[in-house]
Amino acid sequence: MSTKPQDIAPESPAALVERLARAGRAAQAELARMPSPAKEAALKLAAAALRRAAPEILAANAIDMANGATRGLTPALLDRLRLDEGRVAAMADAVDQVAGLADPVGQEIDAATRPNGMVLRRVRVPIGLIGIIYESRPNVTADAAALCVRSGNAALLRGGSEAVHSNRAIHAALVAGLAEGGVPAAAVQLLPTQDRAAVGAMLTAAGLINMIVPRGGKSLVARVQADARVPVLAHLDGICHTFVHAAADPAMAEAIVLNAKMRRTGICGSMETLLIDATYPAAAALVAPLIAAGCEVRGDARARAIDPRIVPAADNDWDTEYLDAVLSVAVVDGLDAALAHIARHSSAHTDAIVTDDATAAARFLAEVDSAIVMHNASSQFADGGEFGLGAEIGIATGRLHARGPVALEGLTTYKWLVHGSGQVRS
């Protein structure tokens, strides 16, 4: 009863976040002690509860959709918000899949016996309480919560205002199912207010919230990164490059370039800049299929000589994540110039080289300092599922803790266990 909106109204956003965080931390301490099969079973019960609650979830979503139409949300936003039978089933399936992933908690990273006989072990443990701040996709409520619970973490969720009814219905089903499996209700909490000051309180709750994961557009991520005093796992941009080296196989290069840009243009791993080696012999055949597929191609002066349909690129094109059927193309003088362009403009997400020259590939992989560096593959593979992680909480381009696609292991830390037999230090 104490979390009904009318009851919490007089509480400040900071006090609300502190109260929820303390409850989440207490629940996390219980969750951390649950054996892996118990967490797995509870997540399967949560998936079943989501399936049972499909009518309620769809009814709630219909309210959000109607409100969204009234508020004039764009068709793209409405599509992200929309649930149907298939999407609810897919959401439940995803929870089932996370339930079946190997539990990282308790895994031994390494062990050693010291000369004095002490045995040292590093063992993975949950991070603690994870704050998830997201936008219009209601499935994040279930996805993120499942990944947190599987890895022994509590989650404090703050979804977008446009999805508030959907998120509440999903959250209610989820915690009911988890409770059947013995997971305390406060292990997964949904912030009961859309007050933006509560987001600010989450971002500054150092010592209460252990990590924040923003899931959404660039303005959300930028705000979180700018204001957070809690560690943030995120990527701001995915300005991904593909460099077609002089020694690239033309058929392979054409297939990779078209796929990297056009398979899906709106994902963070899509190519935004194509670099073509000045001595690559088949540049026109890289560009023509893109244009035929409806891609706007912007180029520097040398690139525009490849195809007259290439329009001039502005200076800021090289630093722009289009997330659309738009591509910037530059002609570069060999590997060193490609490396220099990438060092200057990459967002350190995913960069790729296409070449049959093993030496050039090795240098590219060694010297490009991005979270993911690829040889002869499409940057669209930059995804936790494609990497075999089973899921992902996000993709990180920071340098500490975890980089690239982050799933269960990235939601753990470790502790040192020292097994002695009476050792004292001399």
Structural contact between residues 355 and 248, judged by C-beta atoms closer than 8 angstroms: yes
Closest to a second copy by CB, 53 vs 271, is 271
Q: What is the distance between the alpha carbons of residues 190 and 112, in angstroms, rounded to a whole number?
A: 42
Q: Which of 53, 150, 370, 392 contacts a second copy by CB under 8 A? A: 370
Q: Which of 17, 98, 329, 372 contacts a second copy by CB under 8 A? A: 372
Q: What is the distance between the alpha carbons of residues 296 and 315, in angstroms, rounded to a whole number?
A: 16
Q: Does 371 bind a second copy (CB under 8 A)?
A: yes
Rounded to whole angstroms, what are the CA distances from 159 to 214, 296, 336?
A: 10, 34, 44
**Least distance in angstroms from the C-beta of 239 to a second copy:** 15
Q: What is the distance between the alpha carbons of residues 232 and 221, in angstroms, rounded to a whole number?
A: 9
Position of tokens 């979804």? 159
Q: Which of 91, 403, 407, 408 contacts a second copy by CB under 8 A? A: 403
By CB under 8 A, the residues from 19 to 78 that bind a second copy are 29, 32-33
Q: List, edge to edge, every strand of the sheet that includes 240-244.
A: 311-312, 296-299, 326-332, 271-277, 240-244, 350-354
Other CB atoms within 10 Å distance of the CB of residue 365: 14
Stretch of 85-93, 305-313, 316-324, 418-426 contacting a second copy, by CB under 8 A: 418-426
Q: What is the distance between the alpha carbons of residues 157 and 177, in angstroms, rounded to a whole number?
A: 17
Q: Which of 3, 36, 97, 376 contacts a second copy by CB under 8 A? A: 376
Query: What are the DSSP calls for 77-134, one per residue?
Result: HHHHH---HHHHHHHHHHHHHHHTSPP-TT-EEEEEE-TTS-EEEEEEEE--EEEEEE
Closest to a second copy by CB, 61 vs 397, is 397
**Least distance in angstroms from the C-beta of 50 to a second copy:** 28
By CB under 8 A, the residues from 139 to 178 that bind a second copy are none
**Least distance in angstroms from the C-beta of 71 to a second copy:** 35
Q: Which of 56, 321, 381, 390 contacts a second copy by CB under 8 A? A: 381
Structural contact between residues 188 and 178, judged by C-beta atoms closer than 8 angstroms: yes
Q: What is the distance between the alpha carbons of residues 402 and 408, in angstroms, rounded to a whole number?
A: 11
Q: Does 343 bind a second copy (CB under 8 A)?
A: yes
Closest to a second copy by CB, 193 vs 210, is 210
Q: Does 423 bind a second copy (CB under 8 A)?
A: yes
Q: What is the distance between the alpha carbons of residues 406 and 383, in angstroms, rounded to a whole number?
A: 9
Closest to a second copy by CB, 129 vs 313, is 129
Q: Does 391 bind a second copy (CB under 8 A)?
A: no
DSSP 355: -
Q: Does 127 bind a second copy (CB under 8 A)?
A: yes
Tell me which residues touch a second copy (CB under 8 A): 29, 32-33, 112, 114, 118, 120, 125, 127-128, 210-211, 231, 249, 252, 255-256, 258-260, 263, 343, 352, 365-367, 369-378, 380-381, 386-388, 398-401, 403-405, 413-425
